[in-house]
Structure 1
């Protein structure tokens, strides 16, 4: 938002987005067939109300981002100290790195919104430049987080259902390769955005200077290509990952109940053997019970991570569906205000999830808790390098 002074009002605010798309917006208004959505897009909120809501969301988001940056930095440091002899450490580290990067991208986004609203004059259009240098990257990286969470949930399901076969397949090397493939297929396509949009230097009449701005490339190929990869990478991929996480979480919860019932039966059998002086059998059952408890703690941790992800990712899925149903639901369309507000709202979920994960690790993973306490100087005893329990 820039300030343009006139004799009538020296403090009239102009939306940075409106300056760039005034003409295209008027054309789209005449061609829009959805009067209800058009009313929501342009009739309810004034520019000032729109930016006040946007600023409130982004200030709240930044508070959460700060927590996410600190929490994921600590998580990465702890996992590095734990080592990567176990596949779960590798996948959880990749998740923490992605959550950390998401928080950094959101910080850049919030800074751009703040600069735009407070009329900080820079040689680039802050809000629109972020759209191409951080907005798309954040959207695709959130899909990466979704698939890493899906991999963690699916791997844990297989470890419970077919443990002997999975342990030969899910190794540290195969997990590392899987993380690279997920990043390649989910995050790297974000760079295809530069086929549809580009950064250019253009003259801004309100500031009377040339600034760096983002403009759409309106060729038929660019438009068609954007529709294809947005549907595949922006809708199908996140919805499929969300479905996998949801299904695996339900299976894990069901399996948790079975494991709890089995442990109770083992404990009962152990007590009977003790009473009948069957010491060897009692020791064997106790060992199995301990293994079951360790496995159950890891499963509970994965269920907690997946549940938080599901809750925080639902708004993202809704926005992704709207992006397909409504052709003008994007930054340069009629529904751009709704797009920006809804896009800002969904950014609250990801840093919350990234901030809470460290609390789950600390509560449910004894080795993580031990190394963490040593890292922040709460314990004096040096922890051993060990896999995550």
Structure 2
């Protein structure tokens, strides 16, 4: 979930520490200002509905995150054993590392929110600190995942469009450099959040304790920088990557259908097919139209990965547009409860996609399946079972 703070001064009090309320799930609401607006927003989601929905979303999110952590750990382990002589292994490993890191960041955010909801006395403001140490990074990392998926899809398109030149264009070293550039341009800007927000120690007079909190910097440069970074990194980059994935996936699907049609025609005319020596032009045409079974399996796997990514990223794109088009659609705005719940719903797409990828690799990649079975010792278990029988 992508949370962000509102403008507060250094004397902001943390409700979870000020008093043990009967409604611990409302700790984000800022009663120091715009209280009438926040009260009107409660008509969209009542206290009772909010108290039921939000814990359910936290537990559901964490369950999926646990699956993503386990699945991507196995993907990374298998790809390391396979080696990185193939460019596709490098990009898919980078994708798994990003999915794993994203699930860890979500886990940290969920933990802070869960402790906050249960009024656990933390030495820091759970929601605000988790935003600067996990929420902001997860938002940027989602963009990194989108661009790596776009790169994988584009790579497969090149294999189809220029099959004779692709090995010179896409090399292991070139793939590594491309992934590194993507990370630098999409994930590293997440640390720029510390140019617009900072950590502060806030004294709580009710409990006589000092907790770590965050406040936005009120300088004109910080505000302008924040707006520009949100538009570029939070809207333009994700939507552009999503468009590239969508276009490349459509091209790959069209090409796969052409290949299937070509193979059907070859099968139906198999007995009448001329030998290469008799018709070199026909042989050359066939070689250009067909694709090796290995390449075709890889293309189908990339199409499956991209399709799942598109399905999981559509809600994120809708959420990004809502944040830009709807006024006060933020953590402390008039629609704060809807923002929080929808943020959790939207953020489920990425870990789900990261969890499902291992099933795609296992189903469509024979080398991955073989190494995976040896890694988890499934082959040995089947062999022992057969010997007992």
Shorter chain as denominator, the TM-score bin is: 0.7 to 0.9
Q: Secondary structure at the match of 1:316?
A: helix
Matched, 1:16 2:27: yes
- Tell me if the contact between 1:144 and 1:183 (Cα under 8 Å) persists in the aligned partners: yes
- Offset of 1:83 from its aligned partner? 0.7
C-alpha change, 1:263 and 1:298, in structure 2 (3 Å) is: same
* Contact 2:105-2:138 within 8 A present in 1 as well: yes
- C-alpha RMSD over aligned residues: 2.6
* Aligned match for 1:25, one of 15, 31, 34: 34
Give the equivalent residue in structure 2 for 1:182.
182
1:351-366 matched pairs, under 5 angstroms = 351-366=351-366
Contact 2:200 2:214 in 1 (8 A): yes
Equivalent positions of 1:40-79 (< 5 A) are 41-47=41-47, 49-79=49-79
- Superposed displacement of residue 327, structure 1: 4.2
Query: 1:267 corresponds to which residue?
Result: 267
In the other structure, the counterpart of 1:110 is 110
Change beyond 3 A, Cα 1:279–1:164: closer
Distance 1:249 1:206, change over 3 A: farther
What's the counterpart of residue 16 of structure 2? Answer: 2
Partners in 1 of 2:329 and 2:355 — Cα distance?
30
Unpaired runs of at least 5, structure 1: 30-37, 382-389
| Partners of 1:64 and 1:351 within 8 A in 2 | yes
Tell whether the 8 Å contact from 1:90 to 1:172 is kept in structure 2 after alignment: yes
* Aligned partners of 1:90 and 1:175 also within 8 Å: yes
The residue that corresponds to 1:254 in the other structure is 254
Q: Does the aligned pair in 2 maintain the 1:124–1:213 contact within 8 Å?
A: yes
Displacement of 1:266 after TM fit? 3.0
1:302 is aligned to 302
Name 2:8's counterpart in structure 1.
none
Q: Give the superposition deviation at 1:279.
A: 9.6
Cα deviation 1:330-356 (Å, max 9, x = unaligned)? 234333322222211111111110000
Segments of 5+ residues of structure 2 without an aligned counterpart are: 1-14, 382-389
Q: Structure 2 vs 1, CA of residues 13 and 57 (structure 1 numbering), >3 Å: closer, same or farther? A: closer
TM-score by length of 2: 0.86
How many angstroms does 1:281 deviate by? 8.3
- Kept in 1, the 8 Å contact 2:262–2:290? The answer is no
What is the match of residue 135 of structure 1? 135
Contact preservation (8 Å) 2:17, 2:121? no
Aligned length: 362
Residue deviations 1:219-267, cap 9 Å, x none? 2221111110100000000000111111111111111100111222333
* 1:121 aligned residue: 121
| Comparing 149-158 and 194-203, the one that deviates more | 194-203
Secondary structure of 2:143's aligned partner: helix
Match of 1:84 in 2: 84
1:147 Cα deviation after fit? 0.4
- Match for residue 221 of structure 1? 221
The 8 Å contact of residues 40 and 334 in structure 2, kept in 1 or not, is answered as no
- Whole-Å separation in 2 of the counterparts to 1:155 and 1:225: 34
Asked if 2 retains the 8 angstrom alpha-carbon contact of 1:5 and 1:11, the reply is: no
Query: Does the aligned pair in 2 maintain the 1:137–1:187 contact within 8 Å?
Result: yes
Q: Which residue of 2 aligns with 1:33?
A: none
Tell me the distance in 2 between the aligned counterparts of 1:43 and 1:235: 29
